Amino acid sequence: MTAALFVMIGLGLFLGLVLGFAALKFKVEGDPLVDQIDAILPQTQCGQCGYPGCKPYATAIAAGDADINQCPPGGEAGVKMLADLLGVEPKPLNAEHGVPKPKSVAVIDENICIGCTLCIQACPVDAILGAAKQMHTVITAECTGCELCVAPCPVDCITMEPLKEDIPHWKWRYPVIPIQVQVAA
């Protein structure tokens, strides 16, 4: 009887030590759910969701403060992925936060730009190059199309141009079956 008691206590102590050690050794930094949500978000950093960036929005979703349908750049596909991850029903995008648009990039009209650096300060991904009283230009490959630079420009020289489809980015379309219309006799 006592032997069994000691065995059980010993076992409990041993397993407790193992678990305690594992908790220290394999500690997860940060909230893994936030990172998983953040991985789904398109990283446009546009703030259309009402949060100052994708990470804050992901944090808000994880905390249950924000809904999953506030990200227009992510589109319906993004909502569906978030719903899958969080185990909730997908829902249509909330139109209050905007509607999905084709991916575009900012283009600065270099003849008008006065070099005020306001757009550089607004760009969330440092995709605008320039300095005070020097012409600015957008690094197209790094522009997320968030439109945050458009409003601050005092001379309205920034336009959003939808990305043109070119041969390296061209996609095969989903095969569609032509429907034959039969005229009634």
Interface residues with another protein (CB under 8 A) are 38, 41-45, 53-55, 124-127, 142, 144, 165-167, 169-175, 177
φ/ψ (deg, to 5) at 63: -80, -10
Token couple for 5? 């008691």
Nearer Cβ to another protein (65/142): 142
Sign of CA dihedral 21, 27, 33, 36: negative
Query: In whole angstroms, how far apart are CA 66 and each of 4, 49, 51, 70, 71?
Result: 53, 9, 9, 8, 11
What is the nearest approach in angstroms of another protein to the Cβ of residue 113? 21
Nearer Cβ to another protein (43/94): 43
Let me know: does 97 contact 70? Beta carbons within 8 Å: yes
Nearer Cβ to another protein (1/179): 179
What is the nearest approach in angstroms of another protein to the Cβ of residue 51? 13
Nearer Cβ to another protein (69/74): 74
What is the nearest approach in angstroms of another protein to the Cβ of residue 125? 4
